[in-house]
Amino acid sequence: MRILVAVKRVPMTGGTIVLTPDARAIATQHLGFTISPHEECAVEEAVRLVEREGGESVVLTLGPPEAEEQLRDAMAVGIDRAIHLVTDEEEWDGQATAGAIVEAVRAEEASSGPFDLLLFGNESADAGGYQVGVRVAHALGLPCVTGLKGIEVRGRLVRCEQEVPGGRDVFEVPLPALLTVKEGLNLPRYPSVPGRMRARQRPIARHEPQRPPARLEKLRFVVPEGERKEAEILGRGPEAAPKVVELLDQLGLLR
């Protein structure tokens, strides 16, 4: 099987989000970066499928030069090679992102043969656009099933499970297909030290796509005014237990 996984570099914000002075980005000087959780599961699934079925896995990202870190992370857990669509720091909208990914996939398929499976996150952690995978699938003429927590390849068919209230909905589509997944699909492995060493040697193909004008044009970010609360301290240590029980009683939760 040949599998492509699309991942996005996102900051690991902690307890509060701090913006840059122009409010067009998150201030990231003191933050680490990661792959979105949904996409970490996509990476893990690709590695498992290739371990089982043979073939090759390729990770792709569109992002600034520093996003190489996330490509190396994916290769450290077993992805074979990477494609980096290098951009400046400006974020691309969903349509532009999808367009560049489609071109890259076409070029890659022309040189190395078709992919059987393209794996995306259901939504990116930071933008939450809910669209890049769907757009790429449409442009490539592939069936697309979204939000999956179960994937099972059976020959040239793939059985897909979506979690819905009270159970799971099952879809079945032929390969090649594009699937978008959610965290909970699997438990991603941690990279090993030899894995990290190997990842440094693995190849990254770089391209610099041109950014089209944004059609969903970001003006600025606003941190929502959560009510900042002053928590009432009920006590310290186990001695606080009676106060907690009093509270539960007030709230009618003791019955």
Ligand X SMILES: Nc1ncnc2c1ncn2[C@@H]1O[C@H](COP(=O)(O)O)[C@@H](O)[C@H]1O
Ligand Y SMILES: Cc1cc2nc3c(=O)[nH]c(=O)nc-3n(C[C@H](O)[C@H](O)[C@H](O)COP(=O)(O)OP(=O)(O)OC[C@H]3O[C@@H](n4cnc5c(N)ncnc54)[C@H](O)[C@@H]3O)c2cc1C
Judging by beta carbons within 10 Å of its beta carbon (0-12, 13-18, 19+), is residue 255 exposed, middle or buried?
exposed
Residues within window 101-140 making contact with ligand X, judged by CB under 6 A: 120-121, 123-124, 127-133
Tokens of 37: 């959780």
Q: Which is nearer to ligand Y, 220 or 236 (CB)?
A: 236
The 99-128 contact track toward ligand Y, x by CB under 6 A, reads --------------------------x---
The binder of 68, among ligand Y, ligand X, other proteins, none, by C-beta within 5 to 8 A per type, is: none
Indicate if the alpha-carbon torsion angle 146, 174, 71, 212 is positive or negative: negative
Answer yes or no: are the C-beta atoms of 96 and 214 closer than 8 Å.
Answer: yes
Determine the straight-line distance between the first and last CA of the chain, rounded to whole angstroms: 57
Residues within window 45-64 making contact with ligand X, judged by CB under 6 A: 60-63
The binder of 62, among ligand Y, other proteins, ligand X, none, by C-beta within 5 to 8 A per type, is: ligand X
Residues within window 171-210 making contact with other proteins, judged by CB under 8 A: 171-174, 182-184, 187-188
Q: Residues of 93-123 as b/e, b for ≥16 C-beta within 10 angstroms?
A: bbbbbbbbbbebbeebeeeeeebbbbbbbbb
Chain centroid, CA 54 distance in Å: 24
Residues within window 60-79 making contact with other proteins, judged by CB under 8 A: none
Residue nearest to ligand X (CB): 121
* Residue 34 in the binding site for ligand Y (CB under 6 A): yes
* Residue 96 in the binding site for ligand X (CB under 6 A): no
Closest to 159 measured CA to CA, from 167, 45, 169: 169
* Residue 70 in the binding site for ligand Y (CB under 6 A): no
Interaction site with ligand Y (CB under 6 A) = 10, 12, 34, 36-37, 125
